Structure 1
Amino acid sequence: MVDPRIAKFRSDADSVLAHLKTEYSKLQTGRANAALVEHIMIDAYGQKQDLRSIAGISVDQRSIVVQPWDRSVLGAIEKAIQLADLGASPINDGVAIRITLPSMTEERRKHLQKVVHQLAEEARVSLRKHRQVVHDAIKPEKDEDVKETLNQELQKGVDEYNGKIGEMAKKKEEEIMKV
């Protein structure tokens, strides 16, 4: 049976990985990706809404097409996309907005590589914080053998999740550097 403290750590670590995956999906790679724009907040109907709730988003190799369900918000969508700093200008044709993503420069690739490393490090820091919380919960344990076993299990989990973070970072880096 798994100790509830270790189970909590694994649950928290899974959340860290899910968050990292979400953050990585927002980074531009060589291909167009709906995740680049779907979370952009749009001023529409007197409130802020994310783009995916007011428009259909379709993607091909190099471009993203945003087709709002109500054409009256085209201007607001275009403005929000311009402010999102995607490195591409949106083109409003009166029916939809087309965003053609330029090829990434070597400088942009290197910058994104740094962002990937930074996000991975933030995930590792979060993992260490979760480990510390569980470690503090294990400290009051009276039985030294149980305490040692739990600490070893905890460290094994930390190593496993650090490995997963490293794999995710390496995979994303390869996507970014692929020309």
Structure 2
Amino acid sequence: MKLAEADSTMQKTVEATQRAFNTIRTGRANASLLDKVQVEYYGTPTPLKSLANITTPDASTILIQPYDKSSLNIVEKAISLSDVGLTPSNDGSVIRLNIPPLTSDRRKELAKLAAKYAEEGRVGIRNIRRDAIDSIRKQEKNSEIAEDESRDQQDKLQKLTDKYTAKINELLAEKEKDISTV
């Protein structure tokens, strides 16, 4: 594994962690809360965002307007069955999700969930580093690169690892701040 490869893979890990953070609800309405919701549409699991227009008219409401009005009930059912934790209300043409204010216990739970996602991201980055170091050591053992070059590449790899771990920590701090803000 080359350094550029490791860099790119670590960047993707940070992006995946950011997407995971986006699914955690804070006290404000955010359309990305529904990113993981799948709707059984004509026998095929389909992401909700490809079946409906999702908007946030105010800080405590998410408005879902299905492109196909006949799918309104299955969209409502999919949201109810999902792990979003919100109860949809259907008025015949749109579905509204009211975001209740978070309790302090719920905020603590969400902060723990964010920390869990961050740790998964950091573990992913460390695994990429481990694979890259194994590859570098293998090249050194096979006399493809010199010992000095091997050590130099491992140092660069550690700096990359530190850089991306710091990015995940920044994202976590930002998300925890969002969660704790009333």
TM-score, normalized by length of structure 1? 0.94
Q: 1:24 aligns with which of 17, 21, 25?
A: 21
Residue aligning to 1:54: 51
Which SS does the other structure have where 1:124 is aligned? helix
Provide the residue aligned with 1:154 in structure 2.
157
Distance 2:53 2:35 in 1: 9
Amino acid at match of 2:60: R
How far did 1:72 drift? 0.9
2: CA distance between counterparts of 1:18 and 1:173? Answer: 17
- Is the 8 Å Cα contact of residues 87 and 101 (structure 1) preserved in structure 2? no
| Number of matched pairs | 176
Q: Which residue of 1 aligns with 2:173?
A: 170
Tell me the secondary structure at the aligned position of residue 64 of structure 2: strand
Q: Counterpart in 1 of 2:68?
A: 70
Q: In structure 1, how many angstroms separate the alpha carbons of the residues matched to 2:23 and 2:75?
A: 18
Structure 1 residue ranges, 4+ long, deviating more than 3 angstroms after superposition:
none
Amino acid in the other structure paired with 2:24: L
Q: Deviations over 1:64-103 (max 9, x none)?
A: 0101111111111111111113332111000100000100
Question: Is 1:96 aligned to residue 99 of structure 2?
Answer: no
Counterpart secondary structure, 2:89: strand
RMSD over equivalenced CA pairs, Å: 1.2
> Matches of 2:180 and 2:72 in 1, distance apart?
34
> Corresponding residue for 2:84?
86
Q: State the partner residue of 2:113.
A: 115
User: Could you say what secondary structure the match of 2:2 adopts?
Assistant: helix
Q: Distance in 2 between matches of 1:96 and 1:155?
A: 51
Structure 2: stretches of 5+ with no match in the other structure: none
Partner of 1:127: 125
**In 1, Cα distance between the equivalents of 2:126 and 2:36?**
29
Return the TM-score normalized by structure 2.
Answer: 0.93
Deviation string 1:119-162 (CA, Å, 9 cap, x unpaired) is: 11111111111101110111132411111111111111111111
User: 1:46 offset after TM fit, Å?
Assistant: 2.7
Contact 1:38/1:57, CA 8 A, preserved across alignment:
no
